[in-house]
């Protein structure tokens, strides 16, 4: 795990889900997934977006040419555990991850980029279509 991610995770846990720096004011989630190849648990700090009873997360990798490792993990092992920050507290529960089909992804992408315009910039940096994953409480 990178020092950056370790610091974000530390801040999240010390501040009831609140993180500073580039994530100041953002809704944050820690996704515990099982490595697609390694089988080891990993924890990924991500921004999240509300969608009814679901949470949406974005596999942007900051516009890198390849999808982030956690994306491959949740496709291989869709049952995850999450720590969800919001309203000054953290909820921890099991969830099921599912990649949105393209048409639904495109519709939700409009909402996501309206709420967090940086994601539009990430899409411009890469030729891949950045996936959106829905997390539904198990």
Percentage of residues of the chain with pLDDT beyond 90: 89
Tens digits of residue pLDDT in 37-59 = 999 999 999 999 999 999 999 99
Question: Which of 21-25, 86-90, 126-130 is predicted with the least confidence, judged by mean pLDDT?
Answer: 86-90
CATH of residue 64's domain is: 2.30.110.10
User: Do residues 57 and 48 lie in contact, with contact meaning Cβ atoms separated by under 8 Å?
Assistant: yes
Predicted local confidence at residue 86, as pLDDT: 75
In the chain, how many domains are there? Answer: 1
* Residue 2 pLDDT greater than 90, yes or no: no
| DSSP per position, the chain | --HHHHHHHHHHHHTTT---GGGTT--EEEEEEE-TTT--EEEEEEE-EEETTEEEEE--GGG-SS--HHHHHHHH--EEEEEEEETTEEEEEEEEEEEPPHHHHHHHHHHHHHH-THHHHHHHH-SSPPPEEEEEE-
Q: Which residue has the higher pLDDT, 2 or 62?
A: 62
pLDDT, residue 90, reads 93
Q: What is the pTM of this model?
A: 0.95
Mean pLDDT of the chain, nearest integer: 95
What's the rounded mean pLDDT across residues 76-94?
92
What is the model's pLDDT at position 1? 62
Domain that holds residue 88: 3-137
Tell me the average pLDDT across 71-98: 94
């Amino acid at each position: 795990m990178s020092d950056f991610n370790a610091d974000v995770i530390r801040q999240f846990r010390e501040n009831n889900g609140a993180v500073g720096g580039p994530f100041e004011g953002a809704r944050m989630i820690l996704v515990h997934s099982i490595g697609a190849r390694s089988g080891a648990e990993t924890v990924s700090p991500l921004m999240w977006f509300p969608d009814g009873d679901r949470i949406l997360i974005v596999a942007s990798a900051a516009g890198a040419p390849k999808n982030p490792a956690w994306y491959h993990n949740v496709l291989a092992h869709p049952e995850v555990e999450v720590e969800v920050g919001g309203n000054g507290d953290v909820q921890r529960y099991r969830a099921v991850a599912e990649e949105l089909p393209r048409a639904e992804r495109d519709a939700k992408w409009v909402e996501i980029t309206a709420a967090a315009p940086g994601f539009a910039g990430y899409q411009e940096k890469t030729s891949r279509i950045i996936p959106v994953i829905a997390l539904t409480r198990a």
